[in-house]
Amino acid sequence: MNNEQVFRVAPFSLTVWLWTLTYVIGFLYFGSNSAAALSSGMVPDQFDFVLTLVTFGILLYAWLRSIRSYHLTDKELVIMRGGPGRMHIAVDDILGAQATPNIGTFFNIGVLSIGGVLGWAGRTRVRNPTDLKSMEADVYGTNPKFSVALEMRTGRKLVLTPADPSGFAAALQALGATAPVDVSNPQPALKPGPAADGETSRAPSTGPSRRASADADKPKPWLQGNKK
């Protein structure tokens, strides 16, 4: 029987709290307006009713995809969600695991990655303020400061955020995930500057020195004598 290790997901980051509370407050506000109208026997305002449904749908979708914990055996890593649809990853497909607390900030790419509402679950951009370009990775977690980067056999990168990043990375490394993980963001190549040391073209001089040189090259009749 495989020994199972359970790693809790990290606490919410400030970004997750802000996005989640924004949608919760919006749902409560527009929902209360619609409920008050219904209780008074009136038809709810269309704007309030639509936004109630939209915010509720986003919160429900985010909860179903939100990450709860990571379960690790010697055969597979299972990412547990708030709703159905666990993710099963074979340990043999994980080449390397590395705790990366300074990996950067998570930025949403598409709707499916839930964009910080209760966390991230999908394709995400990862970037530090000093990076010129972003790194793309599949992020399943709640707080970038607790990141563990995984190098997959397929070449893609996964970023998970357990509450114990060092212990989680060590457990994966003990199962053979010892390959180095490159989390550096690709930087654009610098364009070569203009050539120096005479390679730059110069416009012909038209100043007084140039005119004086041209006058000096003209033949001077008073120096040539009389010719017959």
Query: DSSP letter string over 152-209?
Result: ETTS-EEEE-BS-HHHHHHHHHHTT-BS----PPP-PPPPP----TT-S--PPP-SHH
Which of these, 22, 20, 15, lies nearest to 105 by C-alpha position? Answer: 15
Two tokens, residue 215: 């006058």
Which of these, 68, 64, 67, 87, lies nearest to 77 by C-alpha position? Answer: 87
How much is the average pLDDT of 161-182? 95
**Helices within the chain (DSSP H only):** 14-39, 46-65, 165-174, 208-216
CA distances to 23, 56, 59, 169 from 26, in Å: 5, 9, 11, 38
Q: Which residue has the higher pLDDT, 88 or 228?
A: 88
Residue 114 has pLDDT above 80, yes or no: no
How much is the average pLDDT of 26-54? 95
pLDDT attached to residue 183 = 76
Is 89 strand, coil or helix? strand
Q: One-letter amino acid identity for 69?
A: S
**Alpha-carbon span 220 to 135, nearest angstrom:** 74
How much is the average pLDDT of 162-167? 97
Residue 221 has pLDDT above 90, yes or no: no
**Alpha-carbon span 146 to 159, nearest angstrom:** 10
- Name which of 10-19, 85-94, 105-114, 143-152 the model is least confident about: 105-114
pLDDT attached to residue 112 = 56
Confidence of residue 207 (pLDDT cuts 50, 70, 90): low
Two tokens, residue 150: 């995984």
**Alpha-carbon span 180 to 130, nearest angstrom:** 23
How much is the average pLDDT of 47-70? 94
pLDDT attached to residue 126 = 86
Residue 194 has pLDDT above 60, yes or no: no
- Percent of the chain at pLDDT > 90 equals 60
Residue 46 has pLDDT above 90, yes or no: yes
**Alpha-carbon span 63 to 55, nearest angstrom:** 12
Is 70 strand, coil or helix? strand
**Do the Cβ atoms of 161 and 143 come closer than 8 Å?**
yes
How much is the average pLDDT of 56-82? 95
How much is the average pLDDT of 139-155? 94
Please give the mean pLDDT across all residues of the chain. 83
pLDDT attached to residue 127 = 78
How much is the average pLDDT of 116-133? 80
Residue 94 has pLDDT above 60, yes or no: yes
